[in-house]
Amino acid sequence: MIALLQRVAEARVEVEGRVLGKIGQGVLLFVCAEPDDTDASADKLVDKVLRMRIFADAAGKMNLDLAAVGGGLLVISQFTLAADTSSGNRPGFSRAAAPELGRRIYERVLASAAARHGEVASGEFGADMKVHLINDGPVTIPLSVRGPA
């Protein structure tokens, strides 16, 4: 799996002018499934994100995780994270999972996150989404996760 985590002061996602999901302080997570991804990859990604210590403690050090700050998690599917830009000017997306697998893995990420964290919001798989965010820091971290190891 490929993911991009952003620490946010707030974020929301809209489809056709309707707000589908929104959070205050927390993590905006863009997720892209790859062809070899499994439920185990999705669970491992969620574990990593929920344990990521990217929020400031009383001393101002990035030492707290999402639960410690009572933050929300907004999960957005984004197959373009798998873009291959090695040749030409048009990106290729052959590294992204087929839509059926991509949807299944995305839904597993959402279910896994909801089972372990209190506030989880999402966009709509395959939709033309408008994502609004205030990046806090900015803190933006690329993640790559394979199944259990």
How does DSSP assign 74-132, residue by residue? EEEE-GGGG-B-SSSSS-B-TTSPPHHHHHHHHHHHHHHHHHH-S-EEE--TTS-EEEE
Catalytic residue among 80, 85, 93, 140: 80
Task: Check if 80 is active-site.
Answer: yes
Which pLDDT band holds residue 146 (cuts at 50, 70, 90)?
A: confident
- Please confirm, yes or no, whether 78 is among the known catalytic residues: yes
Q: Which domains does the chain have, with CATH numbers?
A: 2-144 (3.50.80.10)
- pLDDT tens digits for range 97-113: 999 999 999 999 999 99
Catalytic residue (one of 78, 85, 93, 125): 78
**pTM (predicted TM-score):** 0.95
Average pLDDT across the chain, whole number: 96
93 has catalytic annotation:
no
Annotated catalytic residue: which of 38, 79, 93, 125? 79
